[in-house]
Each structure stands twice: as C-alpha cells, then as structure tokens.
Structure 1
Amino acid sequence: MPASTSANNLLVLLGLLVGVAGCGPSNNRLPVLGEKQAVTKTVNGKEVVDSVDHTIPNFRFVSQYNDTVTANTLDGKIYVADFFFVNCPTICPKMKTQMKRVYDRYKGNPDVMMLSHTIDPEHDSVAVLKEFAENLGVSGRQWLFVTGLKEDIYEIGQKSYMVTAAEDKTAPGGVVHSGAFILIDKEKRVRGVYDGTTEEGVNKLMGDIDKLLAEYTQ
C-alpha cells in the first residue's frame, strides 16, 4: 500500500475512532478510543447492563526468542503495536525506522514496550524475525516481534487494534496493511493511533506516550 494511501486511511480512521469513543482529551488526558461494549452484571440480585471500554483481548503468539507472548506479557505496560512483514517492499522500512526511534527513546524504561506483528507468518519464521530484530539493533525483550496463525493475526489487527491487515494478491508483497502505530495503556485500552510512516506522526506518538506515563504518576 502506498504511504500516501496509508496516511489518508489513517486520518479517516482517527476521525472515526474519536467519534465512536465520544470523548476527547480532558485535563490533558488522552482519549480512550473504540466503541464501548455492553456487559451484563448482577447487582443486588438483579441483572443490569453496563458499558465498558474497548480493550485488547487475550492473545497467544510466538516471539523472535521462540517463546509464548500473551496479553499477560504486557501487563503493567504501556505499549505500541504495529503490523508489518519482513519482505514488505513499500511502507514497512519507513515504519521500522520510525519504531526504532521509539525504541531508542524509551530503551530501558520498564513501563514501555513495543509489539510488532508479522502479517506474513509463512515466511517470517522465528529465525527470520530474530535476524530482522538483530539487524535493526534490537536486543532484549522491550521490543517483541511476534508470529502465529495468520487468521489470529489478521483478526486481532482488524477487530482489536482496528487497523487494516488482509491478503491482497494484487498488492505489492501480496498483502495490505495499515502503517498505523497503536498506543495501548496499562488497562489494554487504545489511547491513540498514529501514522507510523512519518517523523511527524511518531513525534506525536512519543509526546502522547509521555502524557500517558504521566497519567500513571499522578
């Protein structure tokens, strides 16, 4: 997908998500994005319907270190998620250059992680992901590159992180995906979506990471 198309789609998505969430920043706090979900609770012996924020559900993938990564791995962490593939001929190199900026800025911060999902698990094996991470200069577990079943990766991308991830044989590399970076808070809520192909978009992301970190120190 051309970077310009990705950026345009991202702007549309941002407007939609903020509209759905029905809230904006208050007291310098970031909004919670996504459609609220109805849940049934029992209160004083009676069933009542309440609404809760959209959250990232549990998942199960495998990292570049060949170990299991679940939602619990990110417990107590602010993290940035994205979708890519190693042989991507279009926007992925820009995305990884920009995500490396995030990694370098927050390296060693125990509250911040990065989670990159390959959307080409048939090619991007554990060994391929490990080599890719090492070539980027990434070590340790602060930035995890994960693979798994293709249907699980696409489903969590589209339904949970609310970004495009789909096969398209007419597209360069055979898949289309968003260039978005998604900011997730410690409660697994989506707090921002940013253009991961541009310096400007990632500058905004890092500013919002700082705001989110501040929320947890107040």
Structure 2
Amino acid sequence: MRHTFLGLAFGLAVLAGCTQGENEKALPILGPREPQVKLVNGQEQVDTLYHSIPDFAFLNQDSALVTPKTVEGKIYVADFFFTSCPSICPKMKSQMLRVYEKYKDNPRVALLSHSIDPTHDTVAVLRDYAQRLNVKSSTWHFLTGDKDTILNLAQKHYLTSAMEDKTVPGGFEHSGAFLLVDENRHLRGHYDGTDAASVDKLLKDMDKLLAEKKGQ
C-alpha cells in the first residue's frame, strides 16, 4: 500500500502541532493552523484558527442520521474502511473492538467508521456487519453516504489517505489510521489501527483527553 500522500499530509500536521512532549498533560492539536487578526477594544489581536472537522451528515447502520449533533459533548475515534476489504480492515476492526469494549458504556465517547465503498456498503450491509461484531449504534456508528464526500473528508480534513484504485485488491486504497477527535472537532491524535501497540497509545490518550476536559 502506498503511503506517500499520508506521509506528506500528516507530516505537515505533526509539524504544526507536535512540539509538546509525549509526557505533557495536554495532547497537541494536529493539522494546519492559521493566524486570525481581530479587533478587541480597538486593538488588533492575533488569534489562532485551528484545523477542525467540518459539518457532516451520514446514515448509520440503523438508518439514523449521524451529524456533529450526534457527537456533541463527546470525543470520538474515526476511521475509514469497507466491509469487503481483503487486506487491513479485519485487523483494524479487531483493534477498534478493543476501543469499543473499553468505552461502550461511556456516554462521552463515540466511534465513527466511514465506509469508502458506500455503493456496496448500504445501510443493510452495515447493519449486518455491526451485528456480526455485536456492537451497538449508540456508541459505534458505521456510516454510509456519498462516496466523493467521504473520500474528500478523509483526505482533506482527517488528513489520512483514502481513494478509489481499481488496480488494488478490493478497488480501494486507504490507510489503517485511527483519528482521535475532541469535543471541538479538533484532531488530537493519529494512530495505526493495525498495530496493537499504537492502539494502546490511543487508549491512553483517550483517557488523557477525557481527564483534560473533565478538569477544565
């Protein structure tokens, strides 16, 4: 699998946000950031506009519309997959099940798995997939919608690779990234969803992010 796009896109994100040490309390905010000049009491002040996930609207496995309102007040983990994936998706889902099992009863956590093959992955297909994993849509949402919208969201906003490629098995190429998003829709972490050690780090960072918000 090619990782050129992912490396370039995420490299810029990390340079923007990863100056803090791993052991510091706050997780960095990843992605590009822009200075924003505003007037306060007649004086110009420079504020920082952080990269954030834009509005979205997709159907989940129970035909419910999932929007930012669904994850309001929550942190969430996003990934991109497809149910007929012959390569990394089974590993990703076995690792995401670890996340689900730890947080399935926590009302402040959600999981959003976006299908990059929505033509095949209808609501009915995703419902069957979720049932086989024995998960509840109140915590873990398997999402379907417009293909171009989903691919654009992955690459331009979640800063991960996901694209149609008829030359690879399954017809789609994507990274195994798990993306940690905070209550303000800022990216706070990027993890290899096929690697248990990386997901261990995700679990620790989720606890850190939950504690960070609770302590504010």
Q: Which whole-Å CA distance do the structure 2 matches of 1:68 and 1:82 have between them?
A: 18
Tell me which residue corresponds to 1:20: 16
Q: Where does residue 135 of structure 1 map in the other structure?
A: 132
Cα distance per residue 1:8-59 (max 9 Å; x no partner): 9867765542212263247321111001134464544688764311111111
Name 1:121's counterpart in structure 2.
118
Please point out which of 185, 188, 204 is paired with 2:201.
Answer: 204
User: Is the contact between residue 76 and residue 110 of structure 2 (CA under 8 Å) also seen in structure 1?
Assistant: yes
Which one of 134, 152, 161 corresponds to residue 164 of structure 1?
161
> What is the aligned partner in structure 1 of residue 178 from structure 2?
181
Q: Distance in 2 between matches of 1:194 and 1:12?
A: 16
CA distance in 2, matches of 1:17, 1:51: 15
Residue by residue, what CA displacement relative to the aligned partner does 1:171-199 show, whole Å, maximum 9, x if unpaired? 11111111000000111110000000011
Structure 2 residue aligned with 1:104, among 101, 104, 107?
A: 101
Distance in 2 between residues matched to 1:39 and 1:80, nearest whole Å: 28
State the 1:82 CA deviation: 0.1
Deviation at 1:167?
A: 0.7
Identity fraction in percent = 50
**Bigger mean CA offset, 60-69 vs 37-46:** 37-46
How far apart in 2 are the matches of 1:9 and 1:165?
A: 10
Among 22, 25, 30, which residue is 2:27 paired with? 30
Select between 45-54 and 202-211 the one with higher mean Cα deviation.
45-54
Alignment of 1:51 onto 2:48: yes
Note the 1:137-152 alignment, pairs <5 A: 137-152=134-149
**2:89 aligned with 1:69, yes or no?**
no
Q: Which moved more, 1:94-103 or 1:45-54?
A: 45-54
Please show how residues 75-90 of structure 1 align to structure 2 within 5 Å: 75-90=72-87
Aligned residues: 214
Alpha-carbon distance, 1:208 to partner? 0.6
Letter in 2 for 1:71: P
The alpha-carbon distance between structure 1 residues 47 and 28, as it changes in their structure 2 partners (threshold 3 A), is closer
